[in-house]
Chain A
């Protein structure tokens, strides 16, 4: 089958929205399909959003592909006779973040009407899809609530899961993701201040903001944590990541209100490492059942420090929860065979 993968993107930025497409493409090829990926540049500018959406909608894809799979918005508005939407999030400022500080627009009649039109356009585009999937239950629930669309949750696996392995449950907690304020690396560092064991923390990831990176450096220095917190501000290689996780005590992933469980959680589970998260992390608890396949703490340094110490002193607990996290992958069918089967049926 000739399959087109269509998504929007900000040029030269890597991240989950890119990975879901880039990792799927070779798997579809392996399954015997012909695949072409189309990235369309896009910006979340309310003043030009509708014009951009119209451009997406006018693209002529019908004769080129037997099936089109769309990802990041507004790719779902493209037209195709067999359109599969794997919906990863709304343009959230007009949806669940409308009433929050993340939405800088005034709540005037103009923008209220604008929001209604956007919702109508999204609903229309989703209605005409052959099938709608979401990457998490949270997003599925939002689609239901805002657009009245029934979608199936299809959890995205990671690249080459077979690479991950477990060597030991060591003394270091791994925080591997982009270094950004809403990923809350600072919260993990603050927790380290309150720990009473020699537990260590390793933060790996690239930072787009020099300011936040400096803030983290200062935080570590201020609390005298240089000997126990490693701040490695690089996009580490896949090999390094596999190696780090193989001997980690556990992983930690504490974003603020994320749309899905996050790839770091899955990568840790593949290495039989449990993930520590917090109750306001959004989609992460979809994967983690507290005390069974991971730990969900309050978003508070002292509560997190307590979890760090508990795991350091009770390695068997880290091991059991790590194994359970690995089992959870199968429970939620987070593997490529399932994804390919659903997307091509």
Chain B
């Protein structure tokens, strides 16, 4: 009996593992999404010398949960005169497409060995990973475009017209800016692109595609490619300062003016997921993915304790902050969170000589570097929103067509020339 069950499980292991991974990734990404809204509101508030959310839970930490509940229980009216099918289709399209793009992102190199199965830290790792991401980006414009059109409202239509023109224009610069990286990697596969930057093991962050210090000392820095990529990616995800599709000072709320309740939340989740995907992509293409910023030589071994060493003081600070917090809940909850962080850090640090703990520490290295870099890009996103004024429409088009596209094409030509010269004996 048990034998037959284990046999059936082993036979369908691939499907079971994939389904579990999909569910896990969805849960993680949606939670990160929720806390990204908290992080954004908090950071923008501090940039503007305000407090941000701080009523629901200590430091406003339960605000995302309150927002989620609010979205679920709000009345969901359908405006008169909408094209019903397209009106309901648009938010689903926006959300499913952006969530699908996460399926091809590799988060770490080493598989987990569990129950005799190798479990990789990606759902799928196709040879054309980057092309799949671009095709999803190409399709995701429909969510915004159709939402505005189906709403039967002038502001919505204006918002979606703007955004379709903007996304088509910036897609060119976005695609052109990564060709330099493709020339270096010789592959569309995201994991191959990361592995090709493995000179980072010798020279640290100089080996990333951003600086692209190769073994024979020739450099093809992709800094220009990266600047073009990230600028057009912000435009492609309709985020400030390129959020002309929403432009609340001109168009009420742009393409999602007529959407309420959870349909609005779906657009919101789609936008934040797209931010995460773009940050992952920037990390993979230009910042070495899961490669550490330090060389992998014996001298630099101590950098393997950066995750634990950063957790300890942060945990201590959270404990200190919690003890002097105003509310009872804060005094109770924050020190516990801080102690958990401190304990994890301390255990990992203490495990220097202990084999299983050491293995765990080695395993989290790539994942730590990957998430740390993604976090930096998310910070940039919010920083840009907090500090830069929105572009005018003609400025937006000029920037895309007259600056970003020519510069990224020039970057392709120069990189191609250097790669060609190097490949000649």
Chains A and B come from one and the same complex: no
